[in-house]
A and B are shown apart, each in its own frame.
Chain A
Amino acid sequence: MSSTSRREFLITGASALALSAAIFQSVQGWLGEARQYAGAGLKRPLDGPLTPPENPEIDPVAHALNRWTFGPGPGDYARVAALGVDAFLEEQLAPEKIDDGLCDRATARFSEAWWEPVGEAYEEDDETLSPILRRVALLRAVYSQRQLFEVMCEFWSDHFNIDPGKGDARYTKIADDQNVIRKHALGNFRGMLRASALSPAMLWYLDGRANVKRSPDEKPNENYARELMELHTLGVHGGYTQQDVMEVARCLTGWTVLAKKNDDFSGKLLSPFKDRGKVVFRKEVHDDGVKHVLGQEVSPGLGEGDLDRVIEIVAAHPSTTQFIATKLCVRFISDDAPPAAVAAVARAFADSQGDIKTTLRALFATPEFRSSAGAKFKRPFHFIVSALRATNAETDADRGVISYLERMGHVPFRFPTPDGYPARAQHWHATLLWRWKFALALAHNRIKGTRIERDGLPRLLGGDAALMATLLNRQPQADESDAFLKSGDGLALLLASPAFQCC
């Protein structure tokens, strides 16, 4: 049902037959849901060699798996060792060529929401979309073979953070996930920036929709303009002034979203079914005078063309290059981004005009990246996903798992402020207790909707030594082996250990 909305369909075309067919479909869908609830089959088939790392240190293969994925599962090390690190990177940088059947199956029952027109989401109950969003994010992170792509989706979701709790963002964040984040995650930064500027969820979240000039005295709403420069591009000390904020806000007046209800900002909703969430440019409330942004003139009379001028100016600014390069280095190398690596990444970003693949290749080629193995503290989401992957768990990604993320303050798409979840370790150190509890609960199959083969796993891998090497992504140290044996609960201990908190 893509061209007509569900409600429209039921109102206008409700012949008894069509209606009963729709009911049949929904019952069928419900049965399917019930069947799938057990998580049956949602498990990676371990059909290749499972040889774990033999190196006592995290070697380049293990390092690549640690940083470019949400953690390796059984068999991943053997596969990438055979493929070679460079080929693995190229594979991951071309996600469209990777078969992702398991992930597609895991997310199938929710995927409609990602493909239908944005207005359709308004048909859903307020309360259903946020759980779907976070479940799908978790399922993708656990099951997708396009791991680097998913890692970058997480990165950009923080960079362009939107909390769907605000206004109609609750209906439109899924469209943002699809059309901004996922569409451009490995594409071009400028393209992503422009898509974000015109994302209905962003227009709601940062009040762009309310940035209108209806009278000569009306002041523009600066919220988005400020965050565009402070958080999305130049960075807080990137060299823009309050005057620049006001001028950018002027440039962007008139872009708004047709709301759930008619209101002062969006104007009249032409069709309550089809037009909700649609982004429109209202010329009559746009400030079409001359503006000056970061020392460059935006000519009068450009109308909606002002947006492209602003994106061009901020995206190409040297501070933006530096800011994005630094954030990427913090994510992939160290909380203290090494200046030499930042410089190399910035150069690649600038030279490629924001091509994200080129930028990442440059980052992963730096000596600083190569020598940083094991130095990053996993954020809670990363920790949970890596534990599920390491143990080849089946999970429905529902409340059972989410409740642990809730306790650690890292539920996907729940961060209130536009700066996104903190990247650095210090923000997350107080979450250790919940990690330990999760490790024990997972190892003992006490998480509702999630299951591991507690006894089968070491057998499958070929014994405790192989289990340890698989989980640690290197050979265990003497202390670790000793603790594994003496703890009486080796699997949980490894998942709770300091080494497993890091990558």
Chain B
Amino acid sequence: MSPAINLSTNRDDRRTLVVVFLRGAADGLTLVAPIADDNYHKFRPRLAVKPKDAVRLDDVFGLHPNLRALEAAWKDGDLAIAHGCGGESDTRSHFEAQDLMEHGGMAAGGWIGRFLRTRGPAASPLSAVALAPTLPESLSGAPSAAAFESISEFVIGEPGKKTKSDDFERELKRLYAREQGPLGAAAVNTFEALRRIEAIDAKATPANGANYDEKDSFARGLRQVAQLIQADVGLDVASVDLGGWDSHFTQQTLIEPLMLRLANGLAAFRRDLGPRLATTTVVVMTEFGRRVAENSAFGTDHGRGGAMFVLGGGVKGGRVLGGWPGLKPEMLEGPGDLPVWNNYRDLLAPVLSRHGADAAGLARIFPEYALKPLALYS
């Protein structure tokens, strides 16, 4: 495969995957509450989402009112949700569960890294990015992945400082222009990606009336991902974290602001992308869910099954996928946790297929696991 793909020609078939990881184990039963289940209210006498407050999804579930901004995506069919999601780790350790999930099992390297490897050499220096101080494990092994907190880093030289001179760039261009082969082509691609990033007007108003909270780092991250998508810089995957979900004590005060940030950020992102949402997928995941019964400190402890969201083009949304067995006390696992009946891989697999992975690729991305992909797109 030639790495000399001209960045200007790939607009139509470029698809971008955005992975949002809710670190700290987000409480799926608050995000997507089974409001019609009597047991839910018995287990959560103080913390349950009240049916009258919830954003009703179907006969069983309602979103927490702080996720109201996602209602439009749900109604338009762009957003699908699955409950009882998780991995095989039952240690209820944040570290181990995140590690296993980001690696996609006991395999070495990250699942996104392996996904990108199946696509061959990266054509763009911006094929994979993480809006974070360091690369998440999921991107480990990616061909060329960059962690950054601002796209202003994508300049030759130091961001925001006048260390880059036009003279330097001009002379560099001149030297690379003498290169005939793939090295010359790679330089052309790189200069082109830089030009497109430079053309992004960081102060411009987001498209379609999208309203990002500029004080919120999560929203700023999503906004920059949208800018990269719209600038056609060859972005395949972006990773954005939203942490702080470990709500053992006074859960509401901890996660209510987080839910607002999550929903408002995603809603603004969707609106901003407009038609480009058709070639974009956002997956929201967390390492595990939380104990079904609330604890004495108005919180919940580490559990097993949690909720996952998929928002994006082609998704047959407006549905809770993968079933719901109800909250019967006898079906709970271990210390009283929602079991995992949807392995996270079974939700990621159809997404990766849409983003170009074939069956052999999926087997390499998720080795030692027999996939049972959920019907996300049909």
A interface residues (Cβ-Cβ under 8 A, vs B)? 163-167, 169, 205, 377, 406-409, 414-417, 422, 425-434, 436-437, 440-441, 444, 446, 479-480, 483-484, 486-489, 492-493, 496-499, 501-502
Contact = CB atoms under 8 A, between A and B. Distances in A.
Contact of B167 (A426, A479, A487): A487
Interface string B135-172: 10100111111110000001011100001110110111
Contact of B156 (A429, A437, A498): A437
A488 to B, nearest CB: 5
Contacts of A417: 108-109, 114, 117, 141, 364
Contacts of B242: none
B9 interface: no
A417 B103 CA distance: 12
Contact of B174 (A406, A430, A483): A483
A320 B157 CA distance: 46
Interface in B98-132: 103, 106-110, 113-114, 117, 121-125, 127
Contacts of B48: none
13 contacts: A163-B109, A409-B143, A416-B140, A426-B3, A430-B143, A432-B187, A440-B158, A441-B158, A446-B158, A479-B174, A487-B167, A487-B168, A502-B183
Interface residues on B, range: 35 or more
Interface stretch (B189-197, B204-212, B277-285, B347-355): B189-197
Given A417-B109, A489-B165, A498-B178, A429 B3 contact: yes
A58 B147 CA distance: 37
A416 B123 contact: no
Given A430-B122, A433-B125, A416 B147 contact: no
B179 A430 contact: no
B125 A498 contact: no
B1 interface: yes
B296 interface: no
A175 B299 CA distance: 45
Contacts of A415: 109, 141
Q: Is the interface of A mostly helix, strand, loop or mixed?
A: helix
B124 A498 contact: no
Given A166-B108, A409-B142, A437-B157, A430 B125 contact: yes
Contacts of A422: 121
Nearest to B1: A426
Given A409-B142, A409-B143, A166 B107 contact: yes
Nearest to A162: B108
A205 B107 CA distance: 9
B106 A416 contact: no
Contacts of A433: 125, 154, 156, 190, 193-194
A489 B168 CA distance: 7
B108 A429 contact: no
A487 B121 contact: no
B33 to A, nearest CB: 36
Contacts of A499: 175
Given A429-B3, A432-B187, A416 B109 contact: yes
Contacts of A416: 107-110, 113-114, 117, 140-141
Given A416-B110, A486-B167, A498 B175 contact: yes
Contacts of B146: 407, 434
Which of B103, B135, B143, B145 has the largest count of A CB atoms less than 10 A from its CB? B143
A444 B123 CA distance: 29
B186 interface: yes
A444 B110 contact: no
Given A425-B182, A446-B158, A498-B178, A432 B125 contact: yes
